[in-house]
């Protein structure tokens, strides 16, 4: 209101002045005012009443005791977009319904191995092309109907329906043909694969939806509008550890544990141990921090600058600040190697030659001051990154890569040797062009990306390379990456995943996220062809141990050929109340969240 | 009067179409669309993004999209939010109550403070009270509301007298009716104070200048010369004439009721319409933005009309003929 009213004031003022000018000539009126009795000085006498009311409303009631009610309060940054697990594309929706639905298998966040969930066991056919899942017999949907193979088949049918846009079907498709499934009996599901395809096991975690509830909506073409956020929570039929009891848009989602949950602890005790959870929705990061400090929430993921402040107050607030691990994503400088952008009518832009010149990019790799970035942008809470796979990916991270040391003298020497000569402080390429290019990243939300770009730019300028730093809005950056290819160098980040094949869209030469040269008809270089081949071969090996070498080799190739230069990975922390027990966070999620409880004291 | 109202209502139609069309074009000029946000996630294939684009009709030309939107609106269908995949009316309704409550509270606060203080400082022009309050006023006008919000949050955290943001306590649902009301008011005090104080400053300046203009007018002198007591001169003659622009402003305030204050809402975690609209604009959720703009436009136009009607009612110098001629 204040800004708006000020704005309007400007519009009102001229007229107000006109009115007062009229007043000079105005006649004295005797008609009693209809406005006056409401306004004026006597209103000041209302103020004590208003103040009394406000103070009287400091609610005098027992504090909301999270431990006594065994209710865990946490916060999240935005409203969910949908409660329909198949349609989820945003993390807020995934957080909101993550505890409602389960898949046939799940991934252990500590060991990264696949473990049973709704399927108690599974067997792999001898040719690697069939997987037989044996479902649990003791799982019931929240409306009392038993969970059976029909639900699995229905879920797959929905996922593969071209009219249901979802990001699951892609991961269950092998060489363009969807996996097929059949149910020889209500508790067995047999999946047929076109060829042995290891990434499938992590995709099999897709959430199962109830056939008996949703088949009507599906057959009447209403599936995409089913279970939106305006659905009364009681209508969501689920089988996970919690059910939603209340959703107040923009405020909170309240969960209650599911009375008939199939999982029990070894002594037969009820799981989950928490009786309920409340997710407070709060779009402002500072405000989420204040909520935690004020005790409204029990857990909080602090930003780097908050870690030290919280550590100083840990004893007073009764909280623990625990390191969770290393960021699972990847943050890197990418160089455009796209001939569609740099070659026109046979004229080759010099930048194309630089960025495809391995000696040039290797010299630049030695000019990335990772330690400086860690100290300045991450307050020391980060580690240098060498591979596009995070060290937290215990199965597929290649530990043998040797980082390019930050050494400007070496970088200058490498540039000199490759024919990029320095004259009067300016670097020229062998053909005599001045070396200069544009550097970009996403403007706005992530200030530290901008800081990292500035550090890189300053170091390159010490080498005589001119860098034009121009941050851009995310969407216009995406346009450049996908359509116009109009960029030279950018700092970009991707989220990480446990399954290395999830990055295929980025790694494969034909992928649309193959940033440096997207959607190549045929691999442009021998090493890109090798990555394509390794992705195919690695996907065909079912045993994780035997698969690893393929992905190690891909990381090695990227490290040698440097289409992207890795920068750093943040260290993640979590702060939680000391009264929480069995709270074991990992970067991949909570370990055994069903065991979490408040200490009873 | 009926003719005047009908004429004004008819004039609103081209205005509304113009405003919504310009908004629609402005949204279309922004590079990308709602689904572009998904483009950089390696786990979401391009085909899914294309599919979603087609499903939301984002691949159609601008005029077709606007025509479809307008046609649906004429049938009172305001569309499905792209972010939340649910009716935008549900989304707006779910936040409208918070916003109206907050706007009313803050307006009440700013008007109840601004008018009396404005009168006091004008009557004591150039006195020490006037100087101090004027400085305070300029401070209030220049300090951004979100900064006041941060100060208020810090105050709440340090004293524990008020909740640290939010519209109600996390355990609100388990309270009885009176505790719910009390809880609401308790959560309303700081945000209403922040918005009210920020809005008060300009209102007070306006009140002060109005009174100063009129204080020395001839009819006031006449009133005094008639021997009327000073309080009667002030209330009946000065104040009454000074309030005319405020009648117009009250009309505009109708639009403010539902416009929200995005920055303060964000800082104090209030979840009103301002933040909803801001996020909708940022994520290019066109149906949600359009519905908000439409609502704001209609409220502003209707508020303007009501203000004019009220002006005719309170000010005999203004009649429908002069208003229509404007």
The answer to the question of residue B22 being in a domain is yes
For B59, the 3-state DSSP assignment is coil
Say what percent of chain B tops pLDDT 90.
6
The mean pLDDT of A167-188, rounded to a whole number, is 90
pLDDT band at A305, cuts 50/70/90? Answer: confident
- Judged against a pLDDT cut of 80, whether residue A27 lies above it is answered with no
CA-nearest of A36, A364, A70 to B247 is A36
Least Cα distance to B52 among A514, A89, A216, A284 occurs for A89
Domain A17-98+222-325+574-598: which CATH number of 3.30.460.10, 3.40.30.20, 3.40.309.10, 3.40.190.10: 3.40.190.10
Distance CA A601, CA B58 (A): 56
pLDDT of A51 reads 65
pLDDT of residue A487: 93
**Which residues of B are less than 8 Å from A282 in CB distance?**
165-166, 269
3-state SS, A301-339, equals: CCCHHHHHHHHHHHHHHCEEEEEEEECCCEEEEEECCCH
Look at B202 and A280 and tell me if their CB atoms are within 8 Å. Answer: no
Residue A214 structure tokens: 């949703």
Q: Mind listing the pLDDT tens digit for each residue in B258-308? A: 777 788 888 888 878 888 888 888 888 889 999 988 988 888 888 888 888
Size of interface A-B (CB pairs under 8 A): 280
Give how far A389 is from chain B: nearest CA, Å: 13
Confidence of residue A23 (pLDDT cuts 50, 70, 90): very low
Neighbours of A473 (CB within 10 A): 15
State chain A's maximal CA–CA distance in angstroms. 104
Q: Report if residue B288 sits inside a domain.
A: yes
- Please check whether residue B5 lies inside any domain of the structure: no
Residue A16 pLDDT more than 60? no
Residues B154, B251 within the same domain: yes
What's residue B186's pLDDT? Answer: 86
Nearest chain B CA: its distance from A221 CA (Å)? 13
Confidence check: pLDDT of A385 > 90: yes
Q: How far is A585 from chain B (nearest CA, A)?
A: 24
Whether residues B116 and A296 touch (CB distance < 8 A) is answered with no
Cβ partners under 8 Å of residue B61, min gap 6: none
pTM across the whole model = 0.80
| B24: containing domain | 11-74
Which residue, chain included where needed, has tokens 């719910």? Answer: B180
- Given an 8 Å threshold on Cβ–Cβ distance, is A166 in contact with B266? no
Give the pLDDT score at B171.
Answer: 78
| Chain A residues within 8 A of B167 when measuring between CB atoms | 250-251
* Dist CA A555 CA A386 (whole Å): 9
Smallest CA–CA distance from A166 into chain B, residue: B48
User: Could you tell me which of A186, A46, A205 has the C-alpha nearest to residue A113?
Assistant: A205
pLDDT of the residue at B139: 83
Confidence at residue B133, expressed as pLDDT on a 0 to 100 scale: 84
Which residue did the predictor score with more confidence, B325 or A95? A95
Question: Do B141 and B59 fall into the same domain?
Answer: no
Q: Which residues from chain A sit within 8 angstroms of residue B313, using beta carbons?
A: 34
Q: What number of CA atoms fall less than 13 Å from residue A76's CA on the CB side?
A: 20
Asked if the model's pLDDT at residue A37 lies above 50, the reply is no
Give CA–CA dist B89/B292, Å, rounded: 10
Q: What is the dihedral of CA A180, A182, A188, A190, to 10 degrees?
A: -40
What's the pLDDT score for residue A7? 43
CA distance A35 to B313: 10
Q: What value does the mean pLDDT of chain A take?
A: 87
pLDDT at B44: 72
Render A110-151 in DSSP notation, one character per residue. Answer: TT--EEESSEEEEEE-TTSSEEEEEE-SS-B-TTSPBP-HHH
- Tokens of residue B135, six digits: 């400085």
A75 Cβ contact list (under 8 Å, min separation 6) = A279, A280, A281, A282, A288, A291, A292, A297, A300
Q: What is the pLDDT of residue A86?
A: 93
What are the angstrom distances between the C-alpha of A79 and each of A143, A184, A245, A253?
Answer: 26, 41, 16, 9
pLDDT at A341 over 70: yes
State the residue for tokens 């100290």.
A375
pLDDT of amino acid B245: 83
Residue B130, in any domain of the structure: yes
| Chain B contact set for A502 (CB, 8 A) | 42-43
CA atoms within 13 A on the CB side of A150: 12
Which pLDDT belongs to residue A8? 42
- The minimal CB distance from B195 to the residues A2, A8, A497 is found for A2
pLDDT of residue B252: 78
CA A467 to chain centre: 30
Other C-beta atoms closer than 10 Å to the C-beta of A208 total 24
pLDDT digits over A472-507, tens only?
Answer: 888 788 888 888 889 999 999 888 889 998 888 899
Strands A276-281 and A71-76, bridge-based pairing: parallel
**Residues A330, A331, A337, A341: what is their CA dihedral angle, to the nearest 10 degrees?**
120
Asked whether residue A15 carries a pLDDT value surpassing 90, the answer given is: no
In a domain, B208, yes or no: yes
Q: Which residue has the higher pLDDT, A461 or B122?
A: A461
Whether residues B112 and B222 fall in one domain: yes
DSSP class of residue A28?
P
State whether B69 and B107 are in the same domain: no
Tell me, what's the pLDDT at B326? 62
Strands A466-469 and A436-440: parallel
Q: Are residues B122 and B199 in the same domain?
A: yes
Average of per-residue pLDDT across A180-199: 93
Q: What is the pLDDT of residues A85-144, one digit of tens each?
A: 998 888 889 999 999 999 999 999 999 899 999 999 999 988 889 999 999 999 999 999
Q: Contact A34/B314, CB-based, under 8 Å?
A: yes
Which of A53-67, A579-593, B265-279 has the highest average model confidence (pLDDT)?
A579-593
A256 contact residues in B (CB cutoff 8 A): none
pLDDT at A399 over 90: yes
Residue A363 — pLDDT band, cuts 50, 70, 90?
very high
Domains held by chain B: number: 2
Residue range A565-587: mean pLDDT, rounded:
94
Asked if the Cβ–Cβ distance from A228 to B86 is below 8 Å, we say yes
Contact B3, B292 (CB under 8 A): no
Helix and strand numbers (H, E) in chain A are 18, 29
Q: How far apart are CA A20 and CA A28, in angstroms?
A: 14
**From CA A598, how far away is CA A64, in angstroms rounded?**
14
What lies within 8 Å, CB to CB, of B35 at 6+ separation is B49, B52, B53, B56, B58
Task: Give DSSP secondary structure letters for A348-414.
Answer: EPHHHHHHT-HHHHHHHHTT--HHHHHHHHSTT-EEE--SSS-TT-TTT--TTPPP----HHHHHHH
∠ CA A389-A390-A393 to the nearest 5 degrees? 90
**With 70 as the cut, is the pLDDT of residue B96 above it?**
yes
What number of other Cβ atoms are within 10 A of residue A243's Cβ? 22
Confidence of residue A207 (pLDDT cuts 50, 70, 90): very high
How many Å is the Cα radius of gyration of chain B?
Answer: 24
pLDDT digits (tens, 9 = 90+) for A511-539: 888 999 998 999 999 999 999 999 999 99
Q: Does residue B229 lie in a domain region? A: yes
Per residue in B18-38, pLDDT (tens digit) is 999 999 999 888 877 888 777
- Considering the domain architecture, whether residues B157 and B263 belong to the same structural domain is answered as yes
pLDDT at position A601 is 64
Question: DSSP readout, B218-241?
Answer: HHHHHHHHTT--HHHIIIIIIIHH
pLDDT recorded at residue A116: 95
Strand-pair partners of A74:
A279
Which residues lie across from A468 on neighbouring strands? A438
The residue in chain A having the minimum alpha-carbon distance to the alpha carbon of residue B197 is A2
Q: What is the pLDDT of residue A39?
A: 42
A78/B279 Cβ within 8 A: yes
In this prediction, residue B283 carries a pLDDT of: 83
Instruction: Place B84 in a pLDDT band, splitting at 50, 70 and 90.
Output: confident
Asked whether the beta carbons of residue A2 and residue B157 sit closer than 8 angstroms, the reply is no
All structural domains of chain A with their residue ranges: 17-98+222-325+574-598
Task: Give the residue from chain A lying closest to B184, CA to CA.
Answer: A57
**Does any domain span residue B2?**
no
Q: Are A72 and A596 in contact (CB under 8 A)?
A: yes
pLDDT for A25 beyond 50? no
Q: Which of A307-311, B169-173, B226-230 has the highest mean pLDDT?
A: A307-311
Quick one: closest CA in B to A79, which residue? B84
Integer CA distances (angstroms), A321 to A68, A378, A508, A570, in order: 23, 17, 40, 16
Rg of chain A (C-alpha set): 30
Name chain A contacts of B180, Cβ cutoff 8 Å.
none
Backbone φ, ψ for residue B12 (5° rounding)? -65, -30
B50 and B136 part of one domain: no
Backbone angles phi, psi at B132, to 5 degrees: -60, -45
Contacts for B70-77: CB closer than 8 Å, 24+ residues apart: B70/B17, B70/B20, B73/B294
Distance CA A91, CA B35 (A): 15
Tell me if B87 is assigned to some domain.
Answer: no
Q: Are residues B46 and B167 in the same domain?
A: no
The pLDDT assigned to B256 comes to 77
Statement to judge: residues B66 and B215 lie in one domain: no
Which of B107, B146, B244 is the mutation pick for testing A, counting most A CBs within 10 A?
B244
d(CA A502, CA A504): 5
Cα separation, A26 vs B219, in Å, equals: 7
């Amino acid at each position: 209101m204040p800004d708006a009213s000020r704005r309007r004031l400007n519009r009102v003022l001229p007229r107000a002045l006109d009115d007062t000018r009229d007043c000079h000539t105005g006649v004295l009126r005797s008609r009693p005012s209809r406005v006056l009795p409401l306004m004026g000085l006597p209103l000041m006498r209302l103020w004590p009443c208003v103040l009394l009311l406000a103070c009287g409303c400091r609610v005098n009631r027992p504090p909301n005791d999270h431990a006594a009610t065994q209710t865990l309060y946490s916060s999240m940054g935005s409203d969910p977009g949908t409660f329909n697990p198949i349609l989820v594309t945003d993390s807020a929706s995934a957080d909101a319904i993550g505890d409602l639905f389960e898949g046939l298998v799940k991934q252990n966040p500590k060991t990264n191995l696949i473990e049973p969930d709704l399927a108690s066991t599974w067997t792999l056919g001898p040719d690697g092309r069939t997987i037989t899942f044996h479902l649990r017999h003791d799982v019931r949907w929240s409306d009392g109907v038993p969970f059976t193979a029909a639900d699995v088949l229905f879920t797959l049918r929905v996922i593969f329906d071209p009219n249901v846009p979802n990001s699951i079907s892609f991961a269950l498709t092998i060489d363009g043909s969807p996996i097929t499934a059949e149910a020889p009996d209500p508790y067995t599901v047999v999946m047929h694969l076109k060829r042995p395809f290891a990434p499938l096991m992590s995709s099999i975690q897709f959430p199962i939806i109830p056939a008996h509830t949703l088949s009507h909506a599906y057959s009447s073409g209403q599936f995409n509008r089913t279970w939106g956020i305006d659905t009364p929570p009681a209508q969501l039929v689920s089988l996970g550890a919690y059910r939603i009891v209340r959703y107040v848009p923009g405020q909170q989602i309240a969960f209650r544990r599911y009375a008939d949950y199939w999982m029990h602890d070894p002594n037969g005790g009820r799981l989950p141990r928490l009786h309920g959870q409340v997710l407070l929705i709060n779009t402002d990061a500072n405000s989420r921090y204040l909520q935690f400090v004020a005790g409204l929430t029990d857990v909080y993921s602090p930003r780097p600058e908050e870690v030290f402040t919280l550590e100083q107050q840990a004893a007073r607030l009764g909280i623990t600040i625990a390191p969770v691990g290393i960021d699972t994503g990847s943050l890197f400088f990418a160089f455009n190697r796209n001939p569609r952008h740099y070659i026109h009518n046979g004229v080759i832009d010099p930048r194309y030659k630089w960025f495809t010149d391995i000696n040039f990019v290797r010299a630049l790799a030695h000019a990335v001051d990772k330690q400086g970035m860690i100290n300045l942008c991450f307050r020391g809470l980060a580690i240098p990154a060498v591979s596009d796979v995070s060290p937290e990916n215990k199965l597929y991270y290649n530990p043998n890569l040797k980082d390019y040391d930050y050494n400007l003298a070496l970088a200058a020497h490498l540039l000199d040797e490759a024919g990029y000569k320095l004259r009067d402080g300016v670097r020229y390429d062998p053909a005599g062009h001045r070396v200069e290019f544009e550097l970009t990243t996403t403007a706005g939300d992530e200030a530290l990306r901008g800081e990292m770009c500035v550090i890189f730019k300053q170091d390159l300028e010490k080498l005589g390379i001119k860098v034009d730093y121009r941050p851009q809005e995310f969407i216009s950056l995406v346009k450049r990456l996908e359509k116009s290819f109009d960029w030279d160098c950018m700092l970009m980040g991707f989220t990480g995943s446990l399954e290395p094949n999830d990055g295929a869209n980025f790694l494969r030469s034909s992928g649309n996220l193959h940033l440096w040269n997207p959607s190549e008809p045929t691999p442009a270089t021998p090493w890109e062809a090798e990555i394509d081949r390794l992705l195919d071969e690695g996907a065909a090996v079912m045993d994780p141990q035997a698969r690893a070498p393929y992905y190690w080799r891909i990381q090695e190739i990227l490290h040698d050929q440097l289409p992207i230069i890795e920068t750093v990975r943040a260290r993640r922390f979590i702060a939680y109340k000391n009264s929480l027990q069995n709270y074991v966070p990992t970067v991949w999620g909570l370990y055994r969240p069903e065991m979490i409880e408040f200490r009873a004291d | 009067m009926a003719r005047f109202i009908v004429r004004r209502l008819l004039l609103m139609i081209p205005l509304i179409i113009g405003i919504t069309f310009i908004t629609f074009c402005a949204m279309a000029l922004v590079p990308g669309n709602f689904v572009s946000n998904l483009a950089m996630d390696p786990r979401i294939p391009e085909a899914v993004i294309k599919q979603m684009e087609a499903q939301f009709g984002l691949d159609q030309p601008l005029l077709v999209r606007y025509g479809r939107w307008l046609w649906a609106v004429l049938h009172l269908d305001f569309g499905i939010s792209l972010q939340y995949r649910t009716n935008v009316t549900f989304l707006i309704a779910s936040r409208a109550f918070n916003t109206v409550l907050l706007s009313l509270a803050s307006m009440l606060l700013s008007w109840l403070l601004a008018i009396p203080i404005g009168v006091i400082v004008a009557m004591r022009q150039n006195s020490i009270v006037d100087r101090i309050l004027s400085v305070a006023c300029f401070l209030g006008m220049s300090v951004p509301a979100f900064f006041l919000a941060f100060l208020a949050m810090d105050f709440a955290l340090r004293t524990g007298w008020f909740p640290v943001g939010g519209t109600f306590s996390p355990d609100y649902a388990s309270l009885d009716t009176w505790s719910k009301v009390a809880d609401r008011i308790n959560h309303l005090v700081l945000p209403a104070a922040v918005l009210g104080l920020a809005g008060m400053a300009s209102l007070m300046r306006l009140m002060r200048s109005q009174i100063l203009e009129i204080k020395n007018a001839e009819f006031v002198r006449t009133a005094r010369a008639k021997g009327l007591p000073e309080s009667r001169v002030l209330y009946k003659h000065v104040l009454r004439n000074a309030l005319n622009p405020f009648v117009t402003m009250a009309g505009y305030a109708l639009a403010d009721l539902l416009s929200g204050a995005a920055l303060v809402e964000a800082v104090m975690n209030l979840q009103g319409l301002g933040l909803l609209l801001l996020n909708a604009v940022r994520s290019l959720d066109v149906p949600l933005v359009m519905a908000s703009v439409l609502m704001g436009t209609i409220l502003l136009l209707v508020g303007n009309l009501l203000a004019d009607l009220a002006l005719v009612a309170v000010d005999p110098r203004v009649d429908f003929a002069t208003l229509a001629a404007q």
